[in-house]
Amino acid sequence: MTAEDAYLRSVERMLRGIGPEHRIAVLDDLRAHFADAEEAGRPVDDTIASLGTPNEIAERAHEEFGADRAAAEGRAERAWRMLQGAAAVSALVIGVVVAFIMPTHTIATSEGGASVLQHLTILQNDGVWVALLILVPAVVAAVPLVVARAARLAVAAIGGTLLTLLTVIAAFTTVGMFFLPVVLLSWTALIAWARLRGPGFGRGWRIAGGVLAATPVLLSGGLLGGPFGFEFGPPRRYADYSEGGGPDFGVEAAGWALVAVIIALAVLIAIGFRWAGWALAALALVVLVTGLVAGSMLALLFVWLGGWWLTIGLAHAVTAVKRP
């Protein structure tokens, strides 16, 4: 590494607190100075001495672009609170539904000599204390929102780790898998906060978001043979559990429309339209709620898909730069 490269890298590290467009402008200006000095035959060390130390350059940049720093901090704060708040609310709603509403246990009883299946919630089968334990992820997700700013990074990272561990451990009972959207939102909140306070999100991140949004529907068509590939009706309602079937209309035809909408929104997200993120998040809420009010094995799939699209859509909506 040359002395020029080492100098520019040191300056770039110290400029991470200002907006990316101004950081690029400062670095381009420095490169121009080095190029002019080389043409004039001046030594690199003399050029560095005339420019000043990386710390001095960073101080001048921060003085000139200090408003950008404050704006970046405010934007990062709003994005983090939106995503972390979504994680906490999702954890609360999912916890209430899973613990108190959704049938998760099946027992056989005898009535009049006939065997009857009863479908019980966690509250009915295990009692109130076990049901309340299902709400622990909501508390963990909410704590970072109320701690002091200085402790936020550590608390949010610990909370994300705990949520991940709780989801993995509880996955053996299937209940934990319902909280996967909470884990995704929590870690995404941290990533958004860190990136917006630093280099921000560029074109590569937008394209990655669009690809990730489209991936589930592309896989369903490519690997399973159609929009969702297999025929199924909407997840059965809780009341339909003992009836052996759900509503008699399917989603295969409507699946094509959903595929088209998701792919269109994915493309718009990759281009950088902020409203496409809000639209995907709204659609994700519909899918998520459909899963939570369902009563079949497909309920978990709907919750996962909803959580996946909610994370991508909301993250894009709160981090994308407004297009002129």
> By three-state DSSP, how is residue 134 classified?
coil
Cα 139–Cα 144–Cα 145 angle in degrees, nearest 5: 90
| pTM attached to this predicted model | 0.72
pLDDT at 265: 96
Q: Taking each helix axis as running N to C, give the angle between helix 149-170 and helix 180-196, from 0 to 180 degrees, rounded to the nearest 10.
A: 150
pLDDT in tens, 229-248: 444 444 444 444 444 444 43
pLDDT at 111: 63
Instruction: Categorize the per-residue pLDDT at 270 as very low, low, confident or very high, splitting at 50, 70 and 90.
Output: very high
SS3 state at 295: coil
CB 94 within 8 A of CB 303: yes
Of 11-20, 72-81, 139-148, 315-324, which has the strongest mean pLDDT?
139-148
Q: What is the arithmetic mean of pLDDT over 118-135?
A: 86
Cα–Cα distances in angstroms (integers) from residue 63 to residues 10, 15, 17, 195, 296, in the given order: 18, 12, 11, 21, 59
Given the structure tokens 């496409």, which residue do they identify? 276
Q: Pick the range with the lowest mean pLDDT from 187-191, 214-218, 222-226, 274-278.
A: 222-226
Q: Using one digit for the tens of pLDDT, what is the confidence trace for 86-108?
A: 999 999 999 999 889 888 777 76
For residue 222, the model assigns a pLDDT of: 43
Evaluate if residue 40 carries a pLDDT over 70.
yes
Mean pLDDT of the chain: 80
Q: How far is CA 250 from CA 173, 228, 233, 262, in A?
A: 29, 11, 4, 19
Phi–psi pair at 105, nearest 5 degrees: -125, 145
Comparing 245 with 176, the larger pLDDT belongs to: 176
Q: Which residues contact 94 (CB under 8 A, 6 or more apart)?
A: 137, 178, 179, 181, 182, 292, 303
- pLDDT at position 244 is 44
Mean pLDDT, residues 253-280? 88
- Other residues' Cβ atoms within 10 Å of the Cβ of residue 139: 13
Q: How far is CA 80 from CA 86, 192, 269, 317, in A?
A: 10, 6, 19, 12
